[in-house]
Amino acid sequence: MKLREIAHSRTGDKGNTSNISVIAYDARHFALLRDQVTSERVKAHFAGVVEGEVVRYELPNLSALNFVMTQALGGGVTRSLALDAHGKSLSSALLDLDIEPGPDDT
């Protein structure tokens, strides 16, 4: 299944750094997020967009992950050549990740 089926997401920007939250709709899916949406996978998914590193923070109280991606906004929001200089649309790309369903999700 797609990540979109179990999680929602929002992108924020600061300078040349983008952060993307991934929030489980249902707390029982947080373990799937934690196991499968790793910073390595996110970095691979955004190859060609993110030139820096991807760091993941966990917020179990919110069933959420927060990915912080450096060198991700074309040199910075205020100077980028990109159409979407803020990277607002990046969350939609992340929700297209494939997720292996858990035993309760089939």
* Contact footprint for other proteins (CB under 8 A): 4, 8-10, 12-17, 19, 21, 23, 25, 45-49, 57, 59, 61-62, 64, 66, 68, 75-79, 81-84, 88-90, 93, 96
Of 46 and 103, the one with the shorter C-beta distance to other proteins is 46
> In sequence order, what DSSP letters do the residues of the chain get, joined into one string?
-BGGGTEEEEEEEETTEEEEEEEESSGGGHHHHHHHS-HHHHHHHTTTT--S-EEEEEEGGGTEEEEEESS-STT-TTT--SSSTT-TTHHHHHTT-B-PPPGGG-
Q: How far is the CB of 68 from other proteins (least distance, A)?
A: 5
Q: Minimum Å distance from CB 37 to other proteins?
A: 14
Taking the least distance from each CB to other proteins, the nearer of 28 and 103 is 28
